[in-house]
Amino acid sequence: MSDSQDILVPDIGDFDSVDVIEVLVSPGDTVDVESPLITLESDKATMDVPSPVAGTVTEVRIAVGDQVSQGSLVAVVTAAESTLEDAPATAATPQAQAEDGDNSKENEGESQGGDKKEPDRATETPAKIDTQLPSDPDSPAPKAEHPTPPLAPRPPPSLPPGSESDSGPLPHASPAIRRFARELGADLAKISGSGSHGRILKEDVTQFIKAALSQGVRDGQDGSGLPTIPEVDFSKWGPVATEPLSRIKRISGRHLQRAWLNVPHVTHHDEADITELEAFRKTLQSDRASEGIRITLLGFVIKVLASAMKAFPSLNASLTPDGEHLVLKQYFHVGVAVDTENGLVVPVLRDVDRKGILELATELSALSARAREGKLKPDEMQGGCISISSLGGIGGIGFTPIVNAPEVAILGVSRAQTKPRWDGAAFAPRLMLPLDLSYDHRVIDGAEAARISAFIAAALEDPRRLLL
């Protein structure tokens, strides 16, 4: 006996419209439990959607280039008889509400579905969902017989907010138009729609952007109010080649530029004597060598930073959008920048104040490995309170890291060097670690930054302070 089961996209975190970059099965293929069916790519990670049952693939409802969300139909699998009792039931697709979908919740200003229509009550059949976006942004989003319910996720705390206004009624526009406007940085709340019932069309967004750009050109500036950089034909002086930036660099580049323009950065430079700490680290590494745990200096820095966040609550805060209040966080999550082939990604270690050095070392090693393989999950890159950018394995004597807004500070760490240091009687060789604390001057002033930096340096110089 066999039974067909719909395989749906599981919970993928606070992400919607994730790209399908690979389809790993075809009709007729045999799959096991946890066999990957498709590969998805979000802003900074790729992830596989596994099969919850073993059996034979009878239909594949997804193609490369489609965009899916939680609950989208991936494939139909005829389960083997032995797995029918053990296979988890797939979530039934709820009926669409009988009201216009324009009032549905959105993630970063983008609607989770197009206009909704009343389901046909005479014939209620299993859902067949077309997850591909319309090729023409002017056309309304495709309608499903039983579309998946709109999700209501909040924007990831460590990522930039959407371009649409957060208050007032939602602008009347299709999901494709919302995506188009967001990519161009246009606020739909400021655009008057020329379509039916005030619906915003692609031409409306284009005209809005042209008007903003023309105003900037008249002022010798771009849309942000900054002077434009002239276009240069570099081929005039010799051979050139053009290659696209990686997806990670394109996305993080826009975020970093926004943070640099909006956050008044100041960087406080300091150094810590880690001679005793390094000796302790080596002893600890030697004792744990048989367990395969790699204990790095970064684990100690993370632990010290958690103590600093408790001692200085403003270090673990974020400004409200109006700039009038501070959000003081009662949790301690630290993001660590990891160098990958495609650019920097920042996985987040959670509740670092509750974990010891060995646990942090193990978790950091696992997260870094998944980051380099492009297998981080969306929720593993969200919720950071403060970030660390460590160049210790590469070199340098100092740098100015950019604050990862809406965080208010980031700690830079460079390579430790042996330097002569006066001990009161003579110069002695000491291992000195450069520290660079960049901070949002609206939240942290220079005197507090100096105190924070001194606290971190003192804790690193005397490892016993980690017990306090």
Rounded CA separation 74/161 (Å) = 29
Rounded CA separation 23/424 (Å) = 68
Query: Taking the chain, what is the end-to-end CA distance rounded to the nearest angstrom?
Result: 64
Task: Name the residue type at position 438.
Answer: S
Rounded CA separation 151/130 (Å) = 17
**Residue 441 bears catalytic tag:** yes
Rounded CA separation 194/457 (Å) = 60
Q: What DSSP string runs through 220-251?
A: TB-TTSSBPPPP--GGGGS-----PPPHHHHH
Per-residue burial over 424-445, b if 16 or more Cβ lie within 10 Å, else e, is eeeeeebbbbbbbbbbbeebbe
441 by DSSP, 3-state: which? coil
Token code pair at residue 315: 């270090």
- Contact 1/81 with Cβ under 8 angstroms? yes
Q: What DSSP string runs through 82-96?
A: GGTTTSPPPPPPPPP
Rounded CA separation 343/366 (Å) = 18
Rounded CA separation 309/33 (Å) = 43
Asked, as a colleague might, if the bond just before 406 is cis with ω within 30 of 0, I would say: yes
Residue 328, burial from CB neighbour count under 10 angstroms (0-12, 13-18, 19+): exposed
- Contact 44/251 with Cβ under 8 angstroms? yes
185 by DSSP, 3-state: which? coil
Rounded CA separation 328/318 (Å) = 7
Of the candidates 172, 197, 255, 441, the residue annotated as catalytic is 441
Rounded CA separation 329/354 (Å) = 15
Token code pair at residue 300: 């100690």
Q: Where are the alpha helices (DSSP H) in 269-383?
A: 275-287, 297-311, 357-372
- Contact 399/390 with Cβ under 8 angstroms? no
Rounded CA separation 371/367 (Å) = 6
- Contact 290/456 with Cβ under 8 angstroms? no
Residues serving a catalytic function are 441
